[in-house]
Amino acid sequence: MQTNALNDSVFIYETEHFQKTIVKPNKASFFFDFTQISLDILNYKDLKKSNFYQETAKYHVVIILGLLFLIFVIIYKCYSSKNEINKDLALKQEKINDQSISLKKLLLDKEWLLKELHHRVKNNLQVVISLLNTQSAYLENKDALLAIQDSQNRMFAMSLIHQKLYQNDNLSTIDMHWYIPELVSYLKSVFDADHKIAFLLDIDHVDLDVAQAMPLGLILNEAIINALKYAYPETHKGEVKILLKEKQDNLYQLIISDNGVGVPDFELKNRNSLGMNLMYGLSNQIEGSFEVESKNGLSITLNFKKNGIKS
């Protein structure tokens, strides 16, 4: 009985001792552990998020570097292409400059040849005029002398055109505003008509090519000589009017008129004189309309169209 009581006492003691030795959970420790776990979770999320941002940043950097490289390649290609184009343009411009220099040289040579040609034609006509003048010294027939003199005057009218052509920069046209007064001045000196006949000129600046200037000059020569020789008796003074105007677009009118004795109608109709036939023929040559009227003197009217002149 005593032994069992002792054993029971020992069992109760050990049981109470065991219960005391059991470790009870520490609230602070438990809370700390939970907070630590929360912090670890948060740190993991931040780390994961940080890694995501880093990967995204690397991806963006790679894309930006790729774009920059692509832009650089494009700029380089454009630069290279531009240099090639500039080189080609420079070569082409150099060829164009060389061709331009060659063309200018050819043009200058052509102008020099044309000037030389007009100069020689003018000199040859002057030689013929001199020969005719020499020949007239051996003639006694009055009609023959007049014929030679008329031929000399016609040749001068032609040589005057060639003279101006080689003196001017423009080798293709003649300004009639200059030509007509020069021709009138020459013919007045030949016939010594400075004090007898007054010339009234109204001339526009009309540029004609040689194909029209030559016939027009010969028509003027014949008309002026006719007025100087036949319009006025020796005791009379008179005036000759010469008008050259543009009436319409590219249509011109030349009028040579005097207030002299005129010409009988039958002579105008028959056209027996060489001068009158020559004027009609030359007017047809430039496709103009030629009219002669004898009323209070003689009036010659020529209407013609100017040739198109290529610049």
Q: Tens digit of pLDDT for each residue in 211-244? A: 899 999 999 999 999 888 888 877 678 899 999 9
Percent of the chain having pLDDT more than 70?
A: 78
Torsion angle in degrees (nearest 10) through CA of 187, 189, 194, 199: 20
CB 175 within 8 A of CB 213: no
CB 292 within 8 A of CB 300: yes
* 169/107 Cα distance (integer angstroms): 12
The pLDDT tens digits of the residues spanning 12-66 come to 555 555 444 444 444 444 444 545 555 555 565 665 666 666 777 777 788 888 8
Percent helix / strand / coil, the chain, rounded to 5: 70, 15, 15
Provide the 3-class DSSP secondary structure of residue 296.
coil
β-sheet bridge partners, residue 202: 243
